Every structure is written in structure tokens, then in C-alpha cells.
């Protein structure tokens, strides 16, 4: 019994001293954390020397840079694909800019929106349009790399197949279409541009893509809620290159073997405005066979372009529209790219790949 009481007192005394020690430690202030060194200033590569002709730079991030896709043609309207960075000059609101990235026949993944006019006015040519659109997708889409969505528009736009690289799904959606109703062209372009702003991101470290809109229409609109200016602005903000295939055969004539538009009016002016602002172009098929050739020409052009990225000398994100002018030093060449952009986000330092 004595031994048991002694043990209990010994444990009680030990517990008392342990609790007292913990209480004393809790009252003592904790030592201050060691000072954190400020982050090192990011190093920006300022060299603008032309890139080696045989090698395209690896791109890890071009966030904050202005991206351009340029097409260069000679007097015979043949693509010129042997130019170097030194042959190009980029002006923004008249001020020269430093090109930070340059590449020929860029291999960036494509995100393509195909817009089919399924209104009553297109009924006689709808089957041929579907065949030509499918032929285009079959030749352009690269497996496990590119993706496309298909949208029809008559009384209102409708996505009949969302982004996919599966040609079977795209084919099935296009084949099922029928013609009927009015034309809501502006609404369709506005909605398609919204989809191109946030497309599926490629796997891997490089998120860069090329955005393309292919529109088959006569350019007329009688049902849209959005104005023409809103539709044009939407393509500029989406950084999408727009190719338009006109279904209007008025004022068309053959110039040799190629159709030529003698006089442009009405809906054709609308299509040319879309194409001009985005750096694309308008095709005027003279007969049904020319429709397929128009799609072939678009595919050829997508593989014959230059990728240019520059960091604006004016980094302010004012939200204002800035004009872009790309010039070529060689005579007799014509360069085509988008006409400008809205400065809505701050620029970031260049971080080239190694």
C-alpha cells in the first residue's frame, strides 16, 4: 500500500513539472523568421539577330506578345516561303517593333471553326459545300494535333459538332445538314470567335495555337442581333485568320482558268472586310469544281506562312485598338496579316526556349 501511494505521488509531481515547463515555453515569444531574399530580376533576351535558316526557335511561352501569322505572295500570286527575319519589318501605330520570335511554315496546332451557311439561298449548292468542307478537313487536320468544330447558321447559329480531331464525327455532323430559313451571319461569326478565344489547349509545355475561321456564305445577313462591327471586332479579339468562300456568282468572270470578281458589292464587301481585318482572304468560286479548289488553296496557304511575335514598345494595357503594318524589304512581294489588335493585357518578358 505504501509503495502504491509513493508511486502515485511520484507520477503526480513529474506531471506537474512537465506541465509547468510547457507553460513557460508557451509564454516565450517565437524567434522571428529569417529574412526572405527578394526575387531575382527576370532576364530578358534582347537580341534580334536573324534566326538560323535551318532551325525554328522552340517556344515555351509567348504570353503578352503580339502574335502574327503572315502570308507572302509574289506578282503571280504564288507563295514565297524562303524569307528570313531580316526581310520583315513590323510597325505598330507607325512605330518600329522588335521581332522576338520568327519561324517559317509554323507547325503550331490548328484550331479551326468551319461555318456553313444552311439558309434557303444556299440550297442549290449545299451538297457541294459539304463535300468541299469535308475534303478540306481531311487534308488539313493532323491526327492528335489539330481540332475543328462545325457550326451552321440560318435563322440562328448552331454548333453541330464541337471541337474534335475525329474526322468521323465531323463527317457525320456535316452530312446530316439541310437548308432552310434566313441568314444570321454576324451572330454566327461572333459566336464562333468566342469559341476560338478559349479552345482546347494542346498537351505539353507549349500552349500556342493558330486560330482559323472558314466561312461559306454570300455575305448577306437579315436576322442577326449583333452588328457587323461587333462581328469584326470579335474576330480581331480572337486573333483568328478568316477565310471566306463566297457563294455569290454575280460579277464573276474567268481570267484564264481562274475566276475573277469584276465588281464587288453587297455581301461580298462584307466578306472582304472580315478577311482584310484578320489577314485572310476571300475566294470566289465560278463553278462547283472551283469550290473544292478554294479549300485546297486555304490548306496550301496554312502550310506556307510565317509566324511572327513581338513585344510592343508600348506596354500599356489601355484597351485601345493598335494598327499593325508588316512590311517586306524585297520588291514585288505582298504580305498579308491582320491589321491590328486591342491592347487589353500587359506584356510579359520574353522567355525563349533553349
> Which residue is associated with the grid cell 517593333?
97
- Provide the pLDDT for residue 292: 86
All three cell numbers of 312: 510592343
Q: Please, is 221 exposed, middle or buried when counting C-beta atoms within 10 Å of its C-beta (0-12, 13-18, 19+)?
A: buried
Q: Which CATH architecture has domain 110-303?
A: 3-Layer(aba) Sandwich (3.40)
Q: How far apart are CA 233 and CA 252, in angstroms?
A: 29
- Provide the pLDDT for residue 113: 98
Cα separation values, 281 from 64, 121, 213, 284, 293, Å: 27, 22, 11, 10, 14
All three cell numbers of 223: 436576322
**What are the residue ranges in the chain where pLDDT is below 50?**
1-61, 346-354
All three cell numbers of 6: 509513493
Q: What is the DSSP letter of 82?
A: -
- Provide the pLDDT for residue 207: 83
- Provide the pLDDT for residue 62: 53
- Provide the pLDDT for residue 105: 67
| Model pTM score | 0.78
Residue 342, beta-bridge partner list: 321
For the chain, the domains span 66-105+306-342, 110-303
Cα separation values, 341 from 63, 88, 94, 234, 328, Å: 15, 19, 14, 11, 20
Amino acid at each position: 500500500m505504501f509503495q502504491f501511494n509513493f508511486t502515485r505521488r511520484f507520477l503526480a509531481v513529474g506531471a506537474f513539472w512537465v506541465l509547468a515547463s510547457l507553460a513557460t515555453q508557451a509564454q516565450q515569444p517565437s524567434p522571428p523568421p529569417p529574412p526572405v531574399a527578394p526575387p531575382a530580376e527576370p532576364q530578358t533576351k534582347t537580341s534580334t539577330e536573324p534566326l538560323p535558316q535551318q532551325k525554328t526557335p522552340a517556344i515555351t511561352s509567348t504570353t503578352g506578345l503580339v502574335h502574327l501569322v503572315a502570308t507572302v505572295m509574289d506578282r503571280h500570286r504564288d507563295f514565297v516561303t524562303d524569307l528570313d527575319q531580316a526581310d520583315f519589318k513590323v510597325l505598330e501605330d507607325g512605330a518600329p517593333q522588335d521581332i522576338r520570335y520568327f519561324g517559317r511554315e509554323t507547325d503550331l496546332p490548328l484550331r479551326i471553326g468551319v461555318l456553313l451557311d444552311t439558309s434557303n439561298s444556299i440550297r442549290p449548292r449545299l451538297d457541294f459545300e459539304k463535300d468541299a468542307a469535308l475534303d478540306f478537313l481531311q487534308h488539313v487536320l493532323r491526327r492528335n494535333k489539330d481540332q475543328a468544330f462545325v457550326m451552321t447558321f440560318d435563322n440562328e447559329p448552331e454548333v453541330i459538332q464541337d471541337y474534335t480531331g475525329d474526322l468521323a464525327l465531323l463527317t457525320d455532323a456535316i452530312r446530316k445538314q439541310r437548308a432552310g430559313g434566313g441568314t444570321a451571319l454576324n451572330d454566327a461569326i461572333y459566336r464562333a470567335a468566342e469559341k476560338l478565344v478559349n479552345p482546347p489547349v494542346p498537351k505539353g509545355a507549349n500552349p500556342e495555337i493558330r486560330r482559323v475561321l472558314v466561312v461559306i456564305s454570300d455575305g448577306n445577313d437579315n436576322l442577326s442581333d449583333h452588328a457587323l462591327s461587333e462581328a469584326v471586332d470579335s474576330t480581331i479579339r480572337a486573333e483568328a485568320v478568316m477565310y471566306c468562300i463566297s457563294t455569290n456568282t454575280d460579277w464573276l468572270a474567268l481570267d484564264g482558268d481562274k475566276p475573277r470578281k469584276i465588281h464587288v458589292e453587297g455581301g461580298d464587301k462584307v466578306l472582304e472586310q472580315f478577311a482584310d481585318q484578320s489577314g485572310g482572304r476571300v475566294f470566289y468560286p465560278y463553278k462547283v469544281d472551283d469550290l473544292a479548289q478554294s479549300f485546297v488553296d486555304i490548306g496550301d496557304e496554312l502550310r506556307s506562312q510565317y509566324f511572327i511575335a513581338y513585344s510592343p514598345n508600348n506596354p500599356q494595357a489601355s484597351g485601345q485598338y493598335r494598327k499593325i503594318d508588316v512590311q517586306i524589304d524585297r520588291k514585288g512581294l505582298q504580305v498579308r496579316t491582320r491589321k491590328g489588335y486591342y491592347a487589353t493585357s500587359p506584356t510579359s518578358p520574353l522567355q525563349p526556349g533553349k
